[in-house]
Amino acid sequence: MKNLAKRIIKIGLITAVIGFVLIQFVPYGRNHSNPPVLSEPNWDSPQTRDLAQRACFDCHSNETVWPWYSHVAPISWLVQHDTEEGRQYLNFSTWDNGGKGREPGEAIESVSEGWMPPAVYLLNHPEARLTDAETQALIKGLRATIYQ
């Protein structure tokens, strides 16, 4: 019985390793391009831009920093999806070309409610964690930038 359990575990591990290697060949999650920055908002202050860059730009601009793990499936799939979706909703790099997204006011609400940046993002990006004062400054700055 012991040998059977060891054999099942061994087969399971080998299958998992082979599966992990095979999913590396799935092409999705490899398009780590940063299109050119066409335009940015007329920021109300350099501080607002710095805070937005720290907390938002990886998913909401064409200035994404692609970390090493964004090249390893299945994590690469999630990173690619989140970046594409983030740019669709709000892209600070295409501001004059519809980059404001669906509703720029949603950006303010998302930060105010603590939905952005998402907790899962903050796990690997502690620099994006804003203090309460920084969060309030970002909200105030976004409001001044978006509604000027």
Which tens digit of pLDDT belongs to each residue from 85-135? 999 889 999 998 766 665 668 889 999 999 999 999 999 899 999 999 999
d(CA 11, CA 70): 28
d(CA 56, CA 96): 18
Contact 86, 62 (CB under 8 A): no
Contact 112, 68 (CB under 8 A): no
Residues forming beta bridges with residue 94, ordered by sequence position: 39
pLDDT of the residue at 105: 80
pLDDT of the residue at 59: 94
pLDDT of the residue at 98: 65
Residues forming beta bridges with residue 39, ordered by sequence position: 94
pLDDT of the residue at 25: 84
Cα of 91 vs its chain's centroid, Å: 12
Q: Position 69: which residue type?
A: Y
Cα of 41 vs its chain's centroid, Å: 19
Q: What is the pLDDT of residues 11-67, one digit of tens each?
A: 999 999 998 888 888 777 777 889 999 999 999 999 999 999 999 999 999 999 999
C-alpha dihedral sign at 102, 105, 110, 116: positive
pLDDT of the residue at 33: 83
Residue 5 has pLDDT above 70, yes or no: yes
d(CA 99, CA 90): 6
Contact 58, 83 (CB under 8 A): yes
Q: What is the pTM of this model?
A: 0.82
